[in-house]
Amino acid sequence: MISRSLVLKLLSAVLVFGAWEIAGRVPVSYAFPTFLESMTALVAMTLDGTLFAAYAETLQPLVIGVLISAFLGIGIGVWIGLSTKFEWLFSPIFIVMQAAPLAALIPLLVMAYGIGLTSKVFVVCIMAMPVIVLNTAGAVRNTPASIKEMARSFLAKDSDVILKIIIPAASPVIFSGLRLGVSAGFIGAILSELKITPTGVGDIITYSRSIADYPSMYAAIFSIILLAVLFLNVLEKLEHIFFGGNHRGYVSD
């Protein structure tokens, strides 16, 4: 039996793509192709290997940047959540990073690190890391005090309290922050290709726009959205598997 959520998702997709097709046929703009034209271009780029070659370039800084952001972000977030002094010192930095228009920093990164892989990885990191750090810090900071006191009453060491109590209790929220960080990382990867040097999917978008091949341009954009949605759905399933029915809050709740 098809679940209600799946039916609603399919209905939402039909409404969006139907509105896209109608808007393209009206048309709302000469530069706005129909949904069918865009999907035809997407299939053509997939069959001739253009899309696979592009994603081989795009995924490289994305994967490296997300791994660095996850490792450092969770570590820094745990430290901020455990230490008030460390929170006062570093938490404002990540709050500003999350609120500031970080695209303005890209020219500075290019001046410092050139137009290669390093700059693109930095862009992914500065987009993904703040949300991971802040979610992790909030989860650690709000771990119920009762279970920490219970562990200390049984003479648990500080390392045991952190590794066996605080981190497991905060894991669902940390995982949610990681999912949001991956989403921001996708934005950073494409932004770096559009702002630093046109490679990968960003190159398809830039080149298609320059020659007025708008179906291919929209097809490339659609492929980015589709890949991001699929990846985030996989992470959401993993979150549900790992944390079961308690995946919306703390394990200790």
Nearest alpha carbon to residue 221 among 62, 19, 60, 51: 51
In tens, the pLDDT along 129-149 reads: 888 998 888 888 887 777 777
Is residue 61 in a domain?
yes
205 assigned to some structural domain: yes
The predicted pLDDT at position 248 comes to 45
Cα–Cα distance for residue pair 185/131, rounded to 1 Å = 10
Q: How many structural domains compose the chain?
A: 1
What is the rounded distance in angstroms from the CA atom of residue 207 to the CA atom of residue 216? 9
Query: Does residue 249 carry a pLDDT above 60?
Result: no
pLDDT at 251: 37
Confidence (pLDDT) at 228: 85
pLDDT of residue 222: 92
Nearest to 189 by CA among 133, 136, 227: 227
For residues 198 and 227, which has the higher predicted lDDT (pLDDT)?
227
Q: What is the pLDDT of residue 37?
A: 92
- 143 assigned to some structural domain: yes
- Whether residue 107 lies inside any domain: the answer is yes
Which CATH number covers residue 114? Answer: 1.10.3720.10
In a domain, 199, yes or no: yes
Question: Has residue 253 been placed in a domain?
Answer: no
Task: Tell whether 155 is covered by a domain.
Answer: yes
Domain containing 241 equals: 49-246
For 51-93, the pLDDT digits (tens) are: 898 888 888 888 999 999 999 998 888 888 888 888 788 878 8
Q: Is 138 inside any structural domain?
A: yes
First to last CA, the chain: 32
The confidence score (pLDDT) of residue 1 equals: 54
- The span from the CA of 218 to the CA of 227, in Å, is 14
| Residue 2 vs residue 32, higher pLDDT | 32
